[in-house]
């Protein structure tokens, strides 16, 4: 891969978008590589994925404006579908995904972060959807996920004004979960990922499915979904061993994903 690096540390994988000279901007080639790497992840071996950007300035500064500047209507829609398809794969990946935002997360970069389950950032992080200042709308899910993550009113303000916000404001509106000094961001992300990976993977994956799919349903249907996923956890080695250890006041053995 020319622009994507993937490293594994036990049950945690770190995916780095490695195009620092372009502030890790997303062009068609980067998106293609990103999709390929996401498709290759084995949810049985990897229990949590961290996504970050190379360098100290940028997570992902956005989609590649040079590439987009000459697109026709048809090509623009196709480019939007490409990005949406990749980000949807991240959003629906069975395992949790943490965005470690280490700088600029603008346009497609903010959209990438929002497709992850959890966002944490460095103190120098900057978020925004600047598309209306360029004569376009967000095309990789920005109008949809932003309104679901923060309030619709706040999402509309950010979308309509194209203004960027810094880390403290992103924390205040609920776009990120925590802010760290730059040198502490990746250690914090890895610690959080390890805490997730230490828990029963079947149960963690079921929680992700329950939350993501439940948010798209009415409460009555969502509760039925939860009941089904709750029941699916029983008779697994993870459930039997975990509850046995609890009742015996013992530390549970490492979960086996069974």
Provide CATH code, domain 201-247. 1.10.12.10
pTM: 0.96
Q: Please, how many CA atoms are within 13 Å of residue 254, restricted to the half-sphere of its CB? A: 6
**132-144: per-residue pLDDT in tens?**
999 999 999 999 9
Q: What is the domain partition of the chain in residue ranges?
A: 4-197, 201-247
Predicted confidence band at 38 (pLDDT cuts at 50, 70, 90)? very high
pLDDT given at position 64? 87
Domains 4-197 and 201-247 share a fold: no
Rg (CA), the chain: 19
CA distance 38 to 43: 10
**Which backbone phi and psi does 9 adopt, to 5 degrees?**
-130, 95
| Alpha carbons 123 and 67: distance in angstroms, whole number | 30
- Tens of pLDDT along 195-228? 999 999 999 999 999 999 999 999 999 999 999 9
Which residues form the catalytic set? 111, 131
Q: Please give the CATH number for the structural domain made up of 4-197.
A: 3.90.226.10
User: Cα–Cα distance between 251 and 255 in angstroms, integer?
Assistant: 11
Contacts from 76-80 at CB under 8 Å and sequence distance 24+? Answer: 76/136, 76/139, 79/28, 79/139, 80/139, 80/140
Q: Which helix (H) or strand (E) holds 74?
A: helix 73-91
Longest dimension (CA), the chain: 66
């Amino acid at each position: 891969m020319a622009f994507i690096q993937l490293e594994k540390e036990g049950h945690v994988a770190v995916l780095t978008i490695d195009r620092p000279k372009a502030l890790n901007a997303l062009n068609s080639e980067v998106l293609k590589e990103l999709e390929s790497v996401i498709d290759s992840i084995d949810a049985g071996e990897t229990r949590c994925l961290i996504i970050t950007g190379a360098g100290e300035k940028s997570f992902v500064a956005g989609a590649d404006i040079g590439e987009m500047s000459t697109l026709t209507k048809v090509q623009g829609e196709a480019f939007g579908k490409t990005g949406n398809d990749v980000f949807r794969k991240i959003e629906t990946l069975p395992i949790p995904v943490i965005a470690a935002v280490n700088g600029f997360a603008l346009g497609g970069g903010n959209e990438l972060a929002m497709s992850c389950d959890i966002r944490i950032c460095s103190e120098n992080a900057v978020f925004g959807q600047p598309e209306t200042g360029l004569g376009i709308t967000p095309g990789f899910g920005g109008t949809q996920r932003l309104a679901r993550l923060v309030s619709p009113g706040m999402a509309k303000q950010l979308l309509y004004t194209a203004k960027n916000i810094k880390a403290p404001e992103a924390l205040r509106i609920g776009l990120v979960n925590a802010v760290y000094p730059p040198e502490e961001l990746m250690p914090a992300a890895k610690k959080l990922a390890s805490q997730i990976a230490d828990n029963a993977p079947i149960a963690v994956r079921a929680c992700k499915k329950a939350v993501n799919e439940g948010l798209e349903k009415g409460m009555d249907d969502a509760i039925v979904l939860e009941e089904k996923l709750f029941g699916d956890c029983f008779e697994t080695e993870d459930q039997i061993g975990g509850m046995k250890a609890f009742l015996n006041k013992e530390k549970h053995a490492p979960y086996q994903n069974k």
